[in-house]
Amino acid sequence: MLNSGMAGMPELTAVLIRTGRQFAIVTSTFDDPDGRRRVREVIQAAAVRRRLREARVALVGHHFEGMTDLMFDGLSMRESIGPVTWPLEPEKVAVRMGETPQADVDRLMAAERARYAVEMEPALFERSCRLALALEAVVREHRFDAFTAFDQVWLTDPRVGIIPSYGTGRLCEIGIPASPEGDVNTAVAQLVMQELAGQATTLENYVVDYDTNAVMFSHDGHGNPAMGTPGAVKVKHSIYYKGVHGFGAGFEFAYEPGPITNLALVTVGGNRWRFVISEGELLPFPPRAISAPQTLFRHDTLKIADWCDAWLRAGATHHMGAARGRWTAQLLHLAAMLGIEAVVV
């Protein structure tokens, strides 16, 4: 009886089922490496589930107009996934930008020049660093766990007057997931991936490369420089959105090659949510001079045209959260804990 691993389990699982409580099961010998791996995956997923229950996502402005795949219901997000979406007035960032001490700005500029190739006018780089510090200060003051903004919201405000791509990329690097274009869903997906992998970023589908059986992922100036190829990250003028003070800073680099997991958090109608998950490899890629983070993604088994078809049929948005490594098992456990669908492409 001392060695009976099964006799008492129905007493536990039966009452959990009858009371409507969620649970996971791993049946294994204690010292089996595969069993320990499965236990670890369940615990990691449960930790993310708890994090989502308490998370607060800052939204400055609104989602990019016309992008129907970014539309969502904040109350449904709270009910089904967990995070609270909290409106953040752009005024707070503009005011804090003016209050940021010059010494702090100078310190950040010197630190960034020491580790990145900064290829832009000193005055605009200074303004971009000041905006980055203002974003960080406001996010930390309000204890936000993730951040997204309609990037163009400050372009006409003379107190700011530039795009925040450098600042939002820096938020990702220091552990505050940030997505562009008011995309709350991707900010949450990025938070999930960061909890699992430690660093995460936003990626966007760009160009299908049939010759190399891959697709180019990028975004206009926004991305996590901590995931870039070491020693090859540049800070450059954005070439995408011009404010009253000109083009602010953005990042240009190639993501470091290696295994990657992509996660799109999507709504599919009827108040239903879905994880769309895909694994593959980021290929070595010489970055193009487009003032943007960039990479080539190749799926593990599918031809790239088949991957594109399957990714679209699953309802994935044009943005996704991504992190190095293989995390599908944990994401499937998490989807089950949330009671939402999951599609693996």
29 in a structural domain: no
- Beta bridge pairs of residue 209: 214
- Amino acid 84 reads V
**Residue 171 host element (H or E):** helix 165-173
Q: CATH number for the domain including 255?
A: 3.40.275.10
Q: In which domain, by residue range, is 109 found? A: 41-344
Q: How far apart are CA 133 and CA 97, in angstroms?
A: 7
- Beta bridge pairs of residue 263: 277, 321
33 in a structural domain: no
Higher pLDDT, 307 or 61: 307
pLDDT at 4 over 80: no
Q: How far apart are CA 12 and CA 17, in angstroms?
A: 9
Torsion of CA 48, 52, 53, 54, to 10 degrees: 110
309 in a structural domain: yes
Q: How far apart are CA 22 and CA 224, in angstroms?
A: 35
15 in a structural domain: no
22 in a structural domain: no
- Beta bridge pairs of residue 203: 320
Question: pTM of the prediction?
Answer: 0.95
Closest by CA to 341, choosing from 275, 277, 268, 278, is 275
- Amino acid 92 reads K
80 in a structural domain: yes
pLDDT of res. 271: 86
Q: Which residues contact 8 (CB under 8 A, 6 or more apart)?
A: none
φ/ψ (deg, to 5) at 88: -120, 120
Closest by CA to 217, choosing from 202, 231, 198, 230, is 202
Helix (H, G, I), strand (E, B) or coil at 26: coil
What per-residue string of b and e applies to 260-297 under the rule 16 or more CB within 10 Å gives b? bbbbbbbbeeeeebbbbbbbbbbbebebeebbbbbbbb
Number of structural domains (the chain) is: 1
The answer to whether 201 touches 324, Cβ cutoff 8 Å, is no
Q: How far apart are CA 144 and CA 187, in angstroms?
A: 12
270 in a structural domain: yes
Q: How far apart are CA 122 and CA 119, in angstroms?
A: 9
The answer to whether 62 touches 70, Cβ cutoff 8 Å, is no
pLDDT of res. 269: 86
Half-sphere exposure (Cβ direction) of 81: Cα atoms closer than 13 Å: 30
pLDDT digits (tens, 9 = 90+) for 39-97: 999 999 999 999 999 999 999 988 887 888 888 899 999 999 999 999 999 999 999 99
- Tokens 């993604």 -> residue: 297
Closest by CA to 166, choosing from 151, 156, 155, 184, is 151
305-309, Cβ contacts within 8 angstroms, sequence gap of 24 or more:
305/208, 305/210, 307/215, 307/278, 307/280, 307/345, 308/208, 308/215
pLDDT digits (tens, 9 = 90+) for 174-229: 999 999 999 999 999 999 999 999 999 999 999 999 999 999 999 988 999 999 99
* Mean pLDDT confidence for 225-244: 94
34 in a structural domain: no
Tell me the Cα Rg of the chain. Answer: 21
pLDDT of res. 1: 59
